[in-house]
Amino acid sequence: MNFPQIAEMDNQGGNLLFYYLPLGNVSLIPRPVNGTVLTAISLKGVSDWFLGYSTNDLLSLESQLVSNENGSYYENSVKGFYPKPSANFIEYLYAIRHGKFILLVKDSNERIRIVGSLAQPCTLSFLERTGSRAQDLPGVSFEFRCDSYNPCYFYPFDPSV
């Protein structure tokens, strides 16, 4: 099969923002059809997605297919950088560091992908640094990561709407 032709405006890179939710607040992620989840994710009770930010051009979604003698799986990772964190933000990261999460990542083409599943949720790791030179930007590098048997499906529902 030929690759579909790329429209000029679809050739933009980068991710804009992400949403995340503790696994305990998600009741159902519907099955995908042709790589897209066509029904909204069901949340428990009165739950809202949390909005996550990163410095411009530093938010990335990586989904790598890994194959070995036991089969194949995807290594999924959402990485970003948050500058000049407050003490409250650092305390918050420490509080959620052992949590499990489902993420939605929105790219610069306004497409949203689901990262993680009920069976294989994401976990958070982060590194706070100040840098050793005057031009080094102090902040927190973070990563939400999960290994999954499935790719990051498309999700046509924006939780901010």
For the whole model, what pTM was predicted?
0.87
User: Is residue 136 a part of any domain in this protein?
Assistant: yes
Write out pLDDT tens, residues 112-155: 999 999 999 999 999 998 877 766 778 889 999 999 999 999 99
Radius of gyration of the chain (CA): 17
> In Å, how far are 24, 60, 112, 146 from 125, measured between CA atoms?
19, 15, 22, 11
Write out pLDDT tens, residues 45-65: 888 999 998 887 888 999 999
Specify the higher pLDDT residue, 107 or 137. Answer: 107
pLDDT at 23 over 90: yes
Other C-beta atoms within 10 Å of 69: how many?
Answer: 4
Residue 10: predicted pLDDT? 53
Residues 6+ apart with CB under 8 A from 105: 15, 17, 18, 59, 61, 78, 112, 113, 115, 152
Q: Under a CB-based contact definition with an 8 Å cutoff, are residues 100 and 123 in contact?
A: yes
User: Is residue 141 a part of any domain in this protein?
Assistant: yes
User: Is residue 1 a part of any domain in this protein?
Assistant: no
User: Is residue 156 a part of any domain in this protein?
Assistant: no
Domain count, the chain: 1
**pLDDT-wise least confident of 1-5, 42-46, 117-121, 156-160:** 1-5
User: Is residue 47 a part of any domain in this protein?
Assistant: yes
Residue 20: predicted pLDDT? 94
The helix or strand, by DSSP H or E, that contains position 148, with its residue range, turns out to be strand 139-148
Question: For residue 19, what are the domain limits?
Answer: 13-148
Planar angle of CA 29, 33, 36, nearest 5 degrees: 65
Residue 95: predicted pLDDT? 94
> In Å, how far are 20, 50, 85 from 139, measured between CA atoms?
20, 20, 6
User: Is residue 19 a part of any domain in this protein?
Assistant: yes
Residue 134: predicted pLDDT? 62
User: Is residue 52 a part of any domain in this protein?
Assistant: yes
User: Is residue 67 a part of any domain in this protein?
Assistant: yes
Write out pLDDT tens, residues 69-98: 989 999 999 998 888 888 889 999 999 999
Q: Is 157 helix (H, G, I), strand (E, B) or coil?
A: coil
Highest mean pLDDT: which of 2-16, 18-32, 50-64? 18-32
